[in-house]
Amino acid sequence: METVLLTFANQLAILELNRPDSLNAMNEQMLTEIMAKLKEVEKSDALILLMTGKGRGFSAGGDIKTMLNIEDQEKFVNIMETIKQLIITLYSLPKVVIAAVHGPAAGLGFSFALASDYLIATKSARLAMNFIGIGLIPDGGGHFFLEKRLGEAKAKQLIWQGKTMSAEEAFRIGLVDEIVEDANEIYEKIAQWKTKPLQAMIETKKIYTELNKGRLLQALHLEMIGQQKMRQTEDHREGVRAFLEKRKPNFSGR
């Protein structure tokens, strides 16, 4: 089964994450397929890319079961490299990229949404940069995107808290650009965007991309190194045990 669906219509590309039974958690197959679909979008004549998720949520983040089974260090590095290439491709895409979030957008799924140009959330959205709960750090450029939107101090606080935010709270602090009632309203917004001078908007995006791409690449590299270190800690192992046992973790700082 395809884990990512891509359709085109009237200068609009729609990318849908398609693992609804697992809240669109991102496994190795999905990451690879997202990358391939983004390459298709890049070559197309679409000017707007809409990213959304099938089922009850946008994406619950990285697939925990997949990550638990990665003992091979080389495989872990390869997956992190895929994430790096995916995020830099999405950030640099010469299209207007809109993320439409409903239900959960957590961890890597939240980083993926933040890599868009405009983040729309329905009132059902629940957003969390929750890596801290299993003793890890944000990846997928999470550090970069949060600092861009919040500033360093508030970005650190949000990462360290790892709390789940409502759409309204995320909008209030600047992590969400607009709140809508439902998917129908999202498509109404896109119809409005199609009346704008999209080529000029994309040219502005290209300028900001060139100004910031190097720093995003650096953040993605540092996240890979940091995540490798965190995976070796006792706190990470305790966080995973607590997650599987559905209890509060007892972190020790080791």
Q: Domain for residue 150, yes or no?
A: yes
Look up the CATH number of the domain holding residue 131: 3.90.226.10
Give me the pLDDT at residue 76, please: 85
Give me the pLDDT at residue 69, please: 62
Q: Where are the alpha helices (DSSP H) in the chain?
A: 28-43, 64-68, 73-92, 108-114, 142-150, 152-161, 167-173, 183-193, 198-230, 234-245
Q: Domain for residue 155, yes or no?
A: yes
Give me the pLDDT at residue 68, please: 64
What mean pLDDT is reported for the chain? 94
Give how many domains the chain has, as a whole number: 1
Averaged pLDDT in 10-residue chunks for the chain of 254 residues: 95 97 95 97 98 97 74 81 97 98 97 98 96 96 98 98 97 97 88 95 98 98 95 92 90 94
Q: Domain for residue 159, yes or no?
A: yes
Q: Give the integer Cα–Cα distance in Å for 27 and 17.
A: 11
Q: Domain for residue 234, yes or no?
A: no
Q: What is the DSSP letter of 187?
A: H
One-letter amino acid at 192 equals Q
Q: Domain for residue 194, yes or no?
A: no
Write out pLDDT tens, residues 115-138.
999 999 999 999 999 999 999 999
Segments forming the whole domain that contains residue 162 = 4-182
Q: Domain for residue 58, yes or no?
A: yes
Write out pLDDT tens, residues 192-241.
999 999 999 999 999 999 999 999 999 999 999 999 999 999 999 999 88
Q: Domain for residue 238, yes or no?
A: no
Q: Domain for residue 134, yes or no?
A: yes
